[in-house]
Structure 1
Amino acid sequence: MSEATISRPLARSIIEVLGSYGTPPARGIQHFNVGNDSLLNALDEFYLSSYLQEGGAGYKMVIGDYGSGKSHFLYCLRDMAWTRNFAVAKVDLSPVETPYNDQKLVYQAVASNLIWHESDEMSSDETGLMRFLEGTLTRVVGGALSLETLNTPLYRGLIDTLEATAIDSPAYQTAVIAYFDSLIRGHDERIDSLTRWLMGETTSPADTKILREVGVTGKIFRTNAFRMLRSLCQVIRALSYSGLILLFDEVDRMASVGGKAEKLATDTLREVIDRTREDLPGALFVYAVPPQFINDVVPKYPALQQRVRAPGRFSRVNHFSPLINLDHLDLNEDDLMLAIGEKLIPIYEIAFDATLDHTIQQANAVILANVARDVFLDVSHRRLFVKSFVVELSRQHHGEEHTITEAEAQMILRGQVDALMGGETPPY
C-alpha cells in the first residue's frame, strides 16, 4: 500500500504509538509492514480464502522472542481476516492470567474479546459478543432499529437463517434470536439477562425467570463450554461471516507458570487445539508464544508435544506445519529493519506535514539498526530500533538533519532501553 493512501490522523496515531511505546498500533499496521508477506499469503491461500470458508478448521503457533513482532503479526493476520469477512477475537493476556486452566474461561475470553470492526480507518474497534451481535444486526437491516424492523425482509431473512441453521446448543440459538428481538423492542431487562447468559457470567434467579420466558434454559458451565464455543462458531457462520479467527497473544505466561497450574493449563490448551480442529467450523486458532514455551514447556507434556512439534516450520511449501517462526522472514535482519525505516519516514512526514531528507534518514536507519543488533544484545533489537528511529526522526525534524555516528546511535538507543524495560515483561 502506498504512503499516499494514509490519512494524516492515522499517520499521527502510528507515529505516536511507535515513538511512545515501540509497540504496534491497533490501526494502520499495513502501512509499515514488511518481511512477512510469504507467511501471510500462505495463510490466506491455504486457510482464509479456501479451507476455512468451506467449514474446515485449524491451529497455528506463532513463535518469536519478546519484541520480535508476534503482536504485529497477529494484527496483520487480523486485518487480512477482516478482508475475507471473518469475525476475529484477539485475546491479549497479562503475565498473571491464562484461560487455559478452565474451559469456561476460554469461552469467556473469546466472548469478551470478539471484535466489532468498522471499515473507517479512524474508528475505534469495540469488543464483546453483544456489541458484535448488535453491530451485525444493524448492518444487516441497513439502519437504525425500530419496531418496523421486525417485519422487514432483511430481518426476517436473518432470523429464518438462524432458525434453519443446525446449532449444537438450541438454548444458545434461542438466546441469540431473543437478543436480537429484545434489542429491537427495547426490552432492557431481557437484554441484561441475555447478556449475562451469553457472556457466560453468573445469572440470578430473576435472570433465570426472564430467560425461561424467552425459551433459554441451562447455563454455560465448564463442562459444556466448548459446546457453547462451537455454537458461537455456528452462529457466526449463520450470520454470513466466513468463520472465526481466534488470536491469543500470551506473552511469557506459559513459559513460567510451572507446577500443577502448568499441567492443567497445558491439558486445556491441548483440548483447545483438538476441539478447534474437530469441532469449530470455520475457525483458526492462532497462539503466539516465545520459543521457551516450545523448547522448555512442551517437551514435558507428550500429548501436547505431539500436536505442536513439527519437523519443519510453516511456509507455502509446508502449510501443514503448526509452527510459524518469526526468526525466518522474507528479509534478512538488516534489510528488514531498513525496510521498516524506509516505510516510517513518509508516515512521519504525513503525520507532521514535514519534509525530511530521505537519503540522510535512510542512512540513520542503517546505523541505528546495526548498533541495535550488535550492541544491545539483551534487548529486542527490532522493537528498540523502531522506537529509537521514530524518536530520532523527531529530533532531526526539529533540529538539523545529519547522518549520525555510531557513538550517537549508541546514546540514542541507550536512552530508549530504559523506556522499553520499564514496566515491560523482561525479555528472554
Structure 2
Amino acid sequence: MKEHNNKSSAIPRRISQTLLNALKGGVVPRVGLPYITVGRRKEMEALLHDAEIISEGGASFRMVIGKYGSGKSFLLQTLRNYAMDRNFVVVDADLSPERRLYGNNGQGLATYRELIKNLSVKTRPEGGALPMVLDKWIDSVQTETVQTSNTSPEDPLFSQEVEQKIIAIIRSMQELVHGFDFARLLTMYYRAFIEGDDALKSKVLKWFRGEYGTKTEAKQELGVNVIITDDDWYDYLKLFAFFFRQAGYKGMMVFVDELVNIYKIPNSIARQYNYEKILSIYNDALQGKAQYVGIIMSGTPQCIEDTRRGIYSYEALRSRLQDGKFTQQGLQDMRAPVLRLQPLTAEEMMVLTEKLADIHAGLYNYERRLTDTDLLDFIKIEFGRIGAEANITPREVIRDFIEVLDILYQNPGTDIRTLLDSESFDYARPEQENREIDPQFAKFTL
C-alpha cells in the first residue's frame, strides 16, 4: 500500500489507536477529541461562557439532555479538556447504584470520593491530581515570598513569612460553611510538607478524599472531630473550588454523568431526596451562594422529563428546569439551565466520517481509498437504515463506519461497494432507490 501523507499523519499513533478503539467500543476517549470534534458549536460556546463567569467569581448549573449515543459524554469530555487547557481544576463522576447525590449508606460520599479521585488539571489530566495541586500551591507561595521579600529560603525568617501568607489565604476560607475545619487541615498539610512528614500528609489527603469512616478514627489520627459525610460532601466541593482559586487556578468544573441511575432508584422517597440535593445545588449556583464552581449534569430525556419518576416528578425542579413557552425546535435558549442535544446533521456526520477515515489511514499507514462519494453513500444508507434523522446517533454511525474501515483494511480485495451492497443493508436500499434524494443530502450530490 502507498505511504499515507495527509494531515492525519501528524496525530500520534497512540492517540489514533486510542480514539478508534474507544469509539468502536462505544465509549468516549479521554484523549484526542479535538481531532474528531464536529458540530456542537452553540453548546460549547454557551458552556465556555459559563466558564468565564466562574473564573470571575460566579457559579453555574447546567443539565445536558440527550438520548443514549447522542454525544452527551463526548460533549462533557470535550468541555473537560477545554476547561483544563484554560487552567481550571476539573472533577468528574458517573452515577451508579453505589454512587448517588444523596444516600444514607454512603452513596453520596461515594460520589464525592469518585470526584476527588478523578480530580485533574492540565499537567495531570488522568486524575489523582490533588497531592500535586497542594504541593504546587505551597511551592508557589514560597516562590512568591522569595520574590516579594528580602529573605531567602535559607533565612530563619523565611518559613515564618511563608506561613503568614499561607495563613492569610486560609483565613479567607474560615467564614465559609465548614471553612474552619477545612482551613485547619490545609494548615496541617502545609506543616507536614515543610517538615517532610509524609505520614501526616497521607493522613490529611485521606481526610480530604473523604476516606475516614468515623469521627473517632479522624480524631485519633489527626486530632479533628469532623469528617466528610453523605450530608455535607457538596459543601466541601465548594470549599475546594474557593481554595483552588486562591491557589492560582480559575475555578473548578464538576461533571456528573448518568443521572439515569437516580431515575432507576426503586424507592420513591430515596429518589426524592436525590432530587432535593439537585435542587440545593441548583439554588446554590443561581443564588450566588457558591463561587468559582460550575456544575454540569447529564442524562437521558426520560430520566429528566418523566413526571412520574424523573427529575420533573419533583415539582420544585420541574418549574425551574422545564422549557419556557417560546422554546421550539431550532430555537433553543442556550442560556437556559437545560441544554438539549440536537441530532448531528447529515453534513456533520459526513465530516466526521472523513476525519475517521483519515485517522484510520494514518494509523495503518495507507493511502485513503474512500472517496467523498463512498462516504456520502455510507451516510445515506445509515440514515435510511436507522430511520429518521431524529433517531440517528453518532455512536451508531461511528461504530458501523470503523467496522467498515477495519474490514476493508484487513481484506484488501474488498471494496466499500461490496459491503454497502451486502444483505446487511438490503432492507434499506430498495426504498432509497425508489424515491427522490432526501433534501438533507441534496447539497452532497457529486
Give the TM-score category using the shorter length.
0.7 to 0.9
2:67, 2:311 → 1: CA distance?
16
Which structure 2 residues correspond to residues 8-407 of structure 1 after superposition, within 5 A?
A: 8-19=13-24, 21-44=25-48, 46-49=49-52, 51-94=53-96, 97-101=99-103, 104-105=109-110, 107-118=112-123, 125-127=126-128, 129-130=130-131, 132-134=133-135, 159=166, 162-167=169-174, 168=176, 169-201=179-211, 202-203=213-214, 205=216, 207-212=218-223, 216-250=224-258, 252-258=260-266, 259-277=268-286, 278-296=288-306, 297-311=310-324, 312=327, 318-327=333-342, 332=345, 334-359=346-371, 362-376=372-386, 381-398=393-410, 399-400=412-413, 402-404=415-417, 406-407=420-421
Q: Cα 1:106–1:395, aligned 2, differ >3 Å: closer, same or farther? A: closer
2:378, 2:19 → 1: CA distance?
20
1:80, 1:273 → 2: CA distance?
23
1:149, 1:355 → 2: CA distance?
64
1:53, 1:316 → 2: CA distance?
28
Contact 1:22 1:383 in 2 (8 A): yes
1:316, 1:141 → 2: CA distance?
52
Contact 1:104 1:220 in 2 (8 A): yes
Q: Secondary structure at the match of 1:118?
A: coil
Contact 2:65 2:339 in 1 (8 A): yes
1:242, 1:409 → 2: CA distance?
55
Q: Secondary structure at the match of 1:400?
A: coil
Q: Cα 1:224–1:385, aligned 2, differ >3 Å: closer, same or farther? A: closer
Contact 2:61 2:295 in 1 (8 A): yes
**What are structure 1's unaligned runs of at least 5 residues?**
415-428
Q: Cα 1:204–1:226, aligned 2, differ >3 Å: closer, same or farther? A: closer
Report percent identity of matched pairs: 21
Q: Secondary structure at the match of 2:311?
A: helix
1:94, 1:276 → 2: CA distance?
24
Q: Secondary structure at the match of 2:54?
A: coil
Contact 1:158 1:239 in 2 (8 A): no
Q: Cα 1:192–1:241, aligned 2, differ >3 Å: closer, same or farther? A: same
1:314, 1:137 → 2: CA distance?
51
Tell me the TM-score normalised to structure 1 length. Answer: 0.80
Q: Secondary structure at the match of 1:126?
A: coil
Number of positions where the alignment pairs a residue of Structure 1 with one of Structure 2: 394
* Letter aligned with residue 322 of structure 2: R
* Letter aligned with residue 244 of structure 2: I
Cα deviation per residue 1:290-333 (whole Å; 9 max; x = unaligned)? 000222013321111122212238999844301111125xx52x
**What are structure 2's unaligned runs of at least 5 residues?**
1-6, 144-152, 429-446
1:237, 1:376 → 2: CA distance?
47
* Letter aligned with residue 208 of structure 1: K
**Counterpart of 2:3?**
none
How far off is 1:110 after superposition?
A: 3.0
Tell me the TM-score normalised to structure 2 length. Answer: 0.77
2:255, 2:44 → 1: CA distance?
14
Q: Cα 1:133–1:260, aligned 2, differ >3 Å: closer, same or farther? A: same
Q: Secondary structure at the match of 1:218?
A: coil
- The structure number with the bigger radius of gyration is 2
**Counterpart of 1:426?**
none
Q: Cα 1:184–1:77, aligned 2, differ >3 Å: closer, same or farther? A: same
How far off is 1:335 after superposition?
A: 1.4
1:118, 1:197 → 2: CA distance?
24
